[in-house]
Structure 1
């Protein structure tokens, strides 16, 4: 497959996994994390000759689950080891296909948490033979609210297992969460919060009214083969797509699309039949497309770590790439936090000729400060007229709508909700200490 030497994360993680130790591994995106856990697992299964369910891999998105499954198929082509992707969003036919595949049997399941829980609740999966649990992009799964789902899944698993957690970032909440179901894990951290060396990074200080013209200007500079544009919301993705599709070969990718549409768009982008993809952070993880030349952050990411993931779509496997971020006044503090995380100052490019002057970038804008920008409908003005006056009237003051009791600090008492006990279709089986050591499940009493 053209692999000549392991990447740093592969070199450090593979021996630990081969030793059956639990592991927390953190490395920047695009460094070969998937192969780092797939290769040793395949090696174990091949040597042991197991033909039952051996490994469960959890991933945050459908796209990442599909991609991991495809990589397993490539690595295991001559091994006779099978895998099944389990994810939601499909029709009834897909649901039946997944259930049938599970009944037929496979050594590896790659699943999104929500769909897996639905199958577990229906009693469709027997996990008693499972030896390995892999959590890929664990930080993203927590950001998407899958923490409780993961703990529910863990309680279906044998205690005598190996658990491996991979993540591109390692905030304290991830470390605290992982200790609930990992047993004395080894830890590996490589270039945490850093972007790849091959990425040329730049930013433009702009008003929101200037963004559309600026993105058109950038895309017109050359015939790009592969570009991803990130916007903050799916509504913004849809509106920007309507503007750009008049001028460029572009597709929009967002959560409102049916699964079959998402797969068609992703396939077209990977095959370079679609040159430009615009979407939300749903595509900032799990897209391994060769040769992405340019990343445009139409909106500054709120989380600095999301910037690392977005930019990580380019310059993968020692390739070169470019990343450009648009920063409006109210997002300057976000960009300052990004620079602090990656440990470098990003070059500010001047706006192209014909554009009105953008806001001054200070890097210390107050969080939540409104960005009124220019009064013009567009920040691009060939006539370069300026000096307009803001004639807006201030909003009249409103009386405080709180009651007197609320003003004095009194509020109506709210009855605390009783926490629901987790429900399971089967009782977790008691397992004697094995080769992976003694561990607790999340619901075990102290």
Structure 2
């Protein structure tokens, strides 16, 4: 049985990944946890039977101990990935690291290089690769069912409610504290697009901005908080009362308050960050962005990320020399339209767990990967770093208005790596 420890018992770490051990206790056991929030730390310890001496208030405390187990799940906040991962690799841990690898492009490269140098597993949580839906799309493309890929139109429909929760009120609202939207939310998309095309991206351009969730767009009669007598709360689509004042013990209400009672939830939105008016937060990440990508096989990609959607899903059209594939992830539909006139509709098998079963499947594969001693797996750190660089280049283009040559950009980063020593 694989023994592991969790760094960061937040929503992803505790519920998406580590819960696998509760369903498959014969495969993996968590023997330690590091989490600054006492309520979350104790909840995780109770779930997994972790004794007090293996409960730590910080990752620094846990990694100050001699190596406790074989593997670590590092699910800390974005800007708390690099240091614990580098330290853990040095200590000989195999690691499953939540995305993004780092908020800094150079650090992302250094992590991949360090894992290779130490001959340790560093698997990045690009969970979409493990989703049976996208695995089916990849398998179809590899058979050449639509010929050579020429163009892709790809849309990440963030969903107005998801965006307001995570990227206006929530943990990833401010890139100065976490990372840019294109990296935090859309690194999955950059990874999938790179995987589907099967070649390296050579050029990136991007445009986007924070246009709506700003103080000047606050409606007349609104207040600092939804619970402060806001005159338009009943009509507001972003009302915290509508979204969080309920006893739902799953989804986003659990991020607001672990205790699923109305009293606890009301206190949370009255006093905490999730009760703020969406037009009066300290958010600075974009609410819409487009990215154009060119690959070295001449395939082109147009990617759109938007907060202003009713659905929270990805939709796409992949155009090849003999047909096209259209997809709607939420509907679990893959439609193949051949130029001959033949049409096929595929609905891939689903698995238990979040993200179309991908959260479950990445944990299953990580456990098997450690058992095999497979240093690469399905999402090797070097490949993940390359797709991260696509996101960093897109943000650089958005901010400067310049088209970024990815090879030149990578060379500059590596020069920085050499200078860093």
Q: TM-score, normalised by structure 1?
A: 0.30
Name which one, 1 or 2, has greater alpha-carbon Rg: 1
Q: Larger % of strand: which? A: 2
Q: Larger % of helix: which? A: 2
Q: TM-score, normalised by structure 2?
A: 0.31
